[in-house]
Structure 1
């Protein structure tokens, strides 16, 4: 088996030790079905000791006891392996929680600092983290912009941008600043950081069973009671049949117990917990942390996916895409003025304008020290920014950059005019889903910069695959309907909600849920938090705010919205695996019933269709088979049944034919083979 699907040497050894620890009564009684096996095995041990003390001969109690202990061990081992695979990831995260020396400052922008350890930090403290330093604890960027290496958390080598304001201000303790600097306000106490919470979630210390898992557990326990009653009735039935044919059967306790254990649904009961844990562990391999097994299970049944546009469908920052000069102005002249007005603009949009001018016309940044410039910062009231250049105290250039209404008003205040033809260009840019930014010099309009939302690569194909899985995709954005429609078409979503407020998102989710649909929501901003909390599956982008990550019940460490395909597939895998192994287990129990019960009444030769050698070998063969089938199915429970898009009816038929049929046939061959080996003296 591939190591990805099963165990390494280290995991095998640690899981073996944990499996023996799980023999404790406290753990044993957490699984009602296996608890009956545990109690029965203990009673058999007492019987063996009693007979040894009295000097009575043992029949087949010792081998039955041995294989019942192995049955319990294999059940514990399955869960230990599933837990261990998740804990391996937790150990790698734990290594990032070193006690980091950090620079604590008294105020934002302060260059004077005191060096303290990360464990001494308190919520509200402000730290300065410079290039090459580790971020000591979770926090919010309140000043600065920098590239941050989050590979310790996400496993991805590409750095991300973190900056003050907006939805990219959250930083995680243990990650590394690789350029510039950040002033960070601490938002988490030591021991309560995002990584600490991830470790706790991965280790599954507080993993709760899902409703489906609980219901299945109740069903299995009910079947156990029924089989218990059925096996108990074998004693008077055997005595009655024996009287009729003149032979008395002596049902020893070990025989009765072995028959009981073989007939109850031990296979699925032993693997049930491992299936749930492995579903969460498989998500971890895709860099998605699930806070509960319920979320993974719900992901397998979702009908509607809501996605926030900015940062989820798009890259989050608009980029300069094209320069559109007006008549009488060259594109290079427009690019030159646009770049000059953007040199002091530290926003991603401003930097992209500088880069586009450099790429298209090799316009390099100027020596600003040689110029007498006055920067006009962006103002929410004017919705413009710009620059004024002076020579010998006289103004030689007066450039403004901003929204259409603001620039038009500015030009008209200076006696200029924005023609209808120019307004037509602006409308065309808006229809494409882009944002027009106007550039003017004095009272003359130079042209328009097209800022384009960049849709993340490969999304259209991935959304098409979701559609084939029966999942509708809905984009949510605060943009106007025109812009929203253009981006929705480019991304390939089925529907969109424009000019959406947090209240509108909540309303849409509740409407879908009221119609009986399960809803998944993907978001990254604080304004997405209510919708993430309300949805059945809330996937928060790791690049988003702390509030969003707290509200979601899953966290995508790669911040890739198309990851939902893997999340849904793993959810469906979990449900299909549980259904397949339940089908196999029940069919397996029925087959064992018909395989070994007739052998207990060997004088009735026609009933012994498998021609088992003796009642003792028949019962021991069944016990051995019952124990060995559990480890044989561990790889399947960890890997999961391969998901193939099918209707529920087709999936049910597939389960019935493959796993139901296999469960019926496999025991006949397995028990017969073991009987041949036993009768030949090999075991």
Structure 2
């Protein structure tokens, strides 16, 4: 068991408030909490950023002014406007304001979720003292005798070196330059079990606001005050720095263009109908404009983008921009590390393969004896395989253990009777055996064949040999160590293939091993013996071919490739260089999450497309509700278009306006939750989108407007 795993296993488990906050379901309480924010967004200085809803707000203001002034604009100045006219005018004005508020409510609810998450993060920024030390970490890595000065954490600057001991908060983001410690990162990751951070590797980065639970570490600060990882997280989850993505900007331009077109069309219409009063005619024009412009998607567009980032945060992934989330949805090539992503990372003994004349039980006994002093996961797996086969595992007291070392690349046991057993790399064991009597050539050829077969199958061969007290050496066989591919990955890669995404496995293994693992996992291609330069070249080639590339990484050597990739997901346990280079950070440091990130990105794009389709289809139904009602008196032949048989022109127009407002709030949960994504081809997704949201967008308004009309017809003066 690794140190990190051991720390997790022995640590007390506590509930995570961070995850509790993130998983809060949508409900009426969220709407009420978001209402003040929605009202604040009525400020025209904020509304103009959403051209569609800005037009609706202007229309609401105009109809309110007309409703107030209508008694003074009647044809007979001595007579006030009729009750019907006043009730209709005020009804339109009120529901237009409700439409604007509902639109702001969608965005406010999405932002409210981010603010709730930010509150949890803000609690980690406890003001604390930092123990800044004056020394050269290279010449004096332990800093035991260094001069320590206590300063406020806010006064730390880039490059300062601090010492943090057990029980203290880490005052700023940095890299460990000396020491190893168990760190509580629950406030950041939501994971209550501590993790191990140590110098000199890819797990050296620490985050300000986390707490050291054991030991002592020396940290070099890598961020300026106010620019720590937590500070960036707070700004991002609150949406303060969220910029519109290129697709979102394009859609906003399209919606604005449609709004201008409908505005010009409406201004050229002279709605004679039943309305001879100028004020009443203008109110109808405004109602017509609001119902025809794409208000539904205009109201939900911002909320969809914010909710996409929120879904990533719920998966413990921090996106540095909305552009990164959207890019994840357009990814066509995934680069995946083999170790820890496709395989579990620790090779495991899968089979004992004895040479001729040796039984499996004898090989297993020798392999187990030589593994008793091997603390590596591979050594433990040999013992586990022996037990799984029902064979006895020898006791450590039976001989003197010979520990595994990087120099000998072997482990074993020396018995009191002079017998020696060794297990290790083929070349090292062969050299050890050569010290004894010469081997049978046929046996050596058989051994070479077993080793070759294992290597071609993607495994790692460990040769086991025995030497008697007289010095007579004998090769017993080979242990087949196998990289275990994670369950279910082949099916997930098949799903990605149906989505048109190509998967490439990156590994430092030789091509034979890489090919075997790639075939077993079901990836489309592989890059063997990969160097940082090889990764960069692969990404550039893919991008030159028109592909968008996503990859994960945690080391400084991954930083160039992460920066080059369209979606670069850095592990939170990795170096600061990797986290700065990527445009996403996985707080759980789970490389397989890249597949989930792509799914969330595609869900965002599909949600936006589905609700856009629904919104445009909505306008078709509202057209059949309002246009016939406005013109049937002046042009009776248009009565054939009044397919809904609405009660009156006033009821038809008001019903459409009310439905237009209610459908926005009804779709807020869908905008926040997202349209369920299923792995399928683009054509099947389009067909499903048109069938459900296109056809549904046409049918729903017909039903909704008719039901509202039936209710309005019961109100005296509007029937």
What's the TM-score, normalizing by structure 2?
0.78
Equivalence for 1:78 = 106
Deviations 1:111-166 (A, max 9, x none): 45858464454434142444x55444333333444554443333334554433333
- What is the SS of the residue equivalent to 1:39? helix
Equivalence for 1:34 = 53
Equivalence for 1:630 = 664
Alignment of structure 1 residues 402-417 onto 2, 5 Å: none
Equivalence for 1:621 = 655
Matched, 1:650 2:679: no
Equivalence for 1:303 = 332
Equivalence for 2:554 = 524
Equivalence for 1:553 = 583
Deviations 1:66-125 (A, max 9, x none): 111111100000011111122222222222222356665554324458584644544341
Q: Decide whether the 8 Å contact of 2:266 with 2:288 is kept in 1.
A: yes
Matched, 1:591 2:626: no
**134 and 350 in structure 1: CA distance in 2 versus 1, 3 angstrom threshold:** farther
Equivalence for 1:199 = 234
Q: Decide whether the 8 Å contact of 1:151 with 1:157 is kept in 2.
A: yes
Q: Decide whether the 8 Å contact of 1:408 with 1:417 is kept in 2.
A: no
Matched, 1:542 2:542: no
Deviation, 1:324, is 8.5
Candidates 186, 195, 200, aligned match of 1:151: 186
Deviation, 1:27, is 0.9
- What is the SS of the residue equivalent to 1:540? strand
- What is the SS of the residue equivalent to 1:520? strand
* Higher mean C-alpha deviation, range 322-331 or range 145-154: 322-331
**260 and 567 in structure 1: CA distance in 2 versus 1, 3 angstrom threshold:** same
Candidates 40, 44, 47, aligned match of 2:63: 44
- What is the SS of the residue equivalent to 2:341? helix
Deviations 1:360-385 (A, max 9, x none): 9878889xxxx9x999975xxx6769
- What is the SS of the residue equivalent to 1:234? coil
Candidates 505, 517, 525, aligned match of 1:475: 505
**465 and 178 in structure 1: CA distance in 2 versus 1, 3 angstrom threshold:** farther
* Higher mean C-alpha deviation, range 113-122 or range 605-614: 113-122
Deviations 1:528-570 (A, max 9, x none): 2222222222223333333222222223333334434433332
Candidates 465, 478, 489, aligned match of 1:459: 489
Deviation, 1:426, is 4.7
Deviation, 1:20, is 0.7
Q: Distance in 2 between matches of 1:598 and 1:45?
A: 25
Deviations 1:294-331 (A, max 9, x none): 23223233322111223333344556778989999976
Matched, 1:607 2:638: yes
Q: Distance in 1 between matches of 2:49 and 2:253?
A: 12
* Higher mean C-alpha deviation, range 191-200 or range 143-152: 143-152
Q: Decide whether the 8 Å contact of 2:551 with 2:594 is kept in 1.
A: no
Q: Distance in 2 between matches of 1:143 and 1:397?
A: 43
Equivalence for 2:244 = 209
Equivalence for 1:187 = 222
Q: Distance in 2 between matches of 1:292 and 1:591?
A: 37
**Stretches of structure 1 lacking an aligned partner (at least 5 in a row):** none
Q: Distance in 1 between matches of 2:343 and 2:170?
A: 27
Q: Decide whether the 8 Å contact of 2:433 with 2:475 is kept in 1.
A: no
Q: Distance in 1 between matches of 2:395 and 2:63?
A: 86
Q: Distance in 2 between matches of 1:409 and 1:669?
A: 84
Candidates 185, 200, 207, aligned match of 1:165: 200
Number of matched pairs? 658
Matched, 1:501 2:520: no
**314 and 138 in structure 1: CA distance in 2 versus 1, 3 angstrom threshold:** farther
**Stretches of structure 2 lacking an aligned partner (at least 5 in a row):** 1-21
- What is the SS of the residue equivalent to 2:503? strand
Equivalence for 2:605 = 575
Q: Decide whether the 8 Å contact of 1:383 with 1:403 is kept in 2.
A: no
- CA RMSD in angstroms, aligned pairs only: 4.3
* Higher mean C-alpha deviation, range 622-631 or range 637-646: 637-646
Equivalence for 2:141 = 108
Q: Decide whether the 8 Å contact of 1:541 with 1:557 is kept in 2.
A: yes
Deviation, 1:659, is 2.1
**129 and 349 in structure 1: CA distance in 2 versus 1, 3 angstrom threshold:** farther
Equivalence for 2:9 = none
Deviations 1:365-414 (A, max 9, x none): 89xxxx9x999975xxx67699999x9xxxx99999976556766887x7
Deviations 1:439-469 (A, max 9, x none): 9999979987776545444433332332343
Q: Distance in 1 between matches of 2:512 and 2:44?
A: 64
Equivalence for 1:433 = 458
* Higher mean C-alpha deviation, range 428-437 or range 189-198: 428-437
Equivalence for 1:13 = 32
Q: Decide whether the 8 Å contact of 1:308 with 1:528 is kept in 2.
A: no
Q: Decide whether the 8 Å contact of 2:131 with 2:164 is kept in 1.
A: yes
Q: Distance in 2 between matches of 1:187 and 1:362?
A: 50
Deviation, 1:639, is 1.8
**556 and 80 in structure 1: CA distance in 2 versus 1, 3 angstrom threshold:** same
Deviation, 1:223, is 0.9
**6 and 32 in structure 1: CA distance in 2 versus 1, 3 angstrom threshold:** farther
Q: Decide whether the 8 Å contact of 2:562 with 2:582 is kept in 1.
A: yes
What's the TM-score, normalizing by structure 1?
0.82
Candidates 244, 263, 276, aligned match of 2:292: 263
Q: Distance in 2 between matches of 1:169 and 1:323?
A: 38
Deviation, 1:334, is 5.8
* Higher mean C-alpha deviation, range 622-631 or range 68-77: 622-631
